Structure 1
Amino acid sequence: MEPIELHTPRLRLRSWLDSDLPAFAALNGDAEVMRHFPACMSVAESDALAGHIRQHFAEHGFGPWVLERRDQPGLIGVLGFQHVGFEASFTPAVEIAWRLHPAFWRQGYALEAAEMALYCAFTQLGLDEVVAFTTPANLPSLGLMQRLSMQHDKAGDFEHPRLPQGHPLRPHVLYRLSWQAWLEATVE
């Protein structure tokens, strides 16, 4: 299967290169980027995550792409899809996830890339639904989910099973977007 590459007016969502690993490690080691995650990642942890992402692409034909600006190549973040890797009331499911370097926040890049990725999810990948989840305090991600026409599934909110009881980041909110809801939102 030929790797899927996506283009928007300003961005390119592409396959991973070994040369992306240092910028990915810097992203995962940034305290501001990782404030809604349990901890920053070491270089080894970041490299292992990149390996996991590449494996997901090999197994499923999709995953979180490297996100770069078309006018200046190089990883500015990651955005794409992955199978949820834990059991919850809403699994099995495919989630859309993103992580951007702070220098590229509040410029519409995540929205632009996510809209193109969702187009791919529902027209090329044939997904029926995409979910997203985060901590209630992650207002930028919640805002992006809402701008993408994702709907909060209050009944699906959950305690993240990979975090210990009582951990402040354990409560998560769940958002969903079905193919039908995406289609209706794109026609409006």
Structure 2
Amino acid sequence: MIETPRLLLRGWRQADAAPFQEICSDPQVMEYLGEPMTLAETELVVSRMQAMQAQLGYCFWAMEHKETGALMGFCGVKPGAIGTSIDGQLEIGWRMARAWWGAGYASEAAQAVIDWVWANLKVDSIWAITAPANQRSQALMLRLGMVRHRKLDFQHPAMPPGDPLRAHVTYSLNRPSAVPEA
């Protein structure tokens, strides 16, 4: 579990499926992610995240508001999707209920995840992808210090040809260099 001043990032529970489905059925939340999800689809996501956590020790963790215990969405890392420009890389991702937007929670969670990665995983970089129109996510990527790689932009294989969400942009953040001792 990762704890920040306002958040807990934790493993998924089966009881998270219904509140997560509420988040994933909001057309504004899903605007750049695809169709709103059913309960059965969110149950599959929860099961996949639980399996990933058990196998790898990380996933897109459930994001919980510390004060209220509310499921806010997710933030974490997973292997980049096969057939994308980040295949074989570590991908950071987030999704949050609209009620929590604009209060710095996504930045707080993502920075905590980045700090966890540098402390716990032997990777040189963290990657992120999104649809070009998703300016909110790209703004967060820039706030985190990520850099865009235009040559690595791609057509996402999970989206059908002609879908406006098929195009994706690619960002990364390199591991900070060790500062030599004075």
Which TM-score applies when normalising by structure 1? 0.91
Letter matched to residue 166 of structure 1: G
Tell me the C-alpha RMSD between the 2 structures.
Answer: 1.4
Partner residue, 1:143: 139
Displacement, 1:88?
A: 2.8
Partner of 1:33: 29
Give how far 1:80 is off: 0.3
* 1:103-156 deviation line (CA, Å, top 9, x unaligned): 000000000011010000111123221110101110110000000000001111
Q: Distance in 1 between matches of 2:79 and 2:129?
A: 13
Q: How does 1:155-174 map to 2 (within 5 A)?
A: 155-174=151-170
Residue of structure 2 equivalent to 1:79: 75
Counterpart CA distance in 1 for 2:85 and 2:44 is: 27
Task: Compute the TM-score of the two structures, normalised by the length of structure 2.
Answer: 0.93
Residues 41-66 of structure 1 show CA distances to partners (whole Å, capped at 9, x for unaligned) of 11101110111111111110000111
Determine which of 171, 175, 179 is the counterpart of 1:175.
Answer: 171
Tell me the matched-pair count: 179
Structure 1: which 5+ runs fail to align?
none
Native 8 Å contact 1:20 1:74 kept in 2: no
SS in 2 for 1:127: coil
Q: Choose 150-159 or 119-128, whichever is displaced more.
A: 119-128
CA distance in 2 between partners of 1:11 and 1:25 (Å)? 20
Distance 1:55 1:22 in 2: 18
Report the identity percentage. 34
Q: Is the 8 A contact 2:16 2:46 kept in 1?
A: no
Rounded Cα–Cα distance in structure 2 between residues aligned with 1:129 and 1:167: 29
CA distance in 1 between partners of 2:124 and 2:67 (Å): 33
| Runs (5+) with no aligned partner, structure 2 | none
Q: C-alpha separation between the residues in 2 aligned to 1:20 and 1:89? A: 31
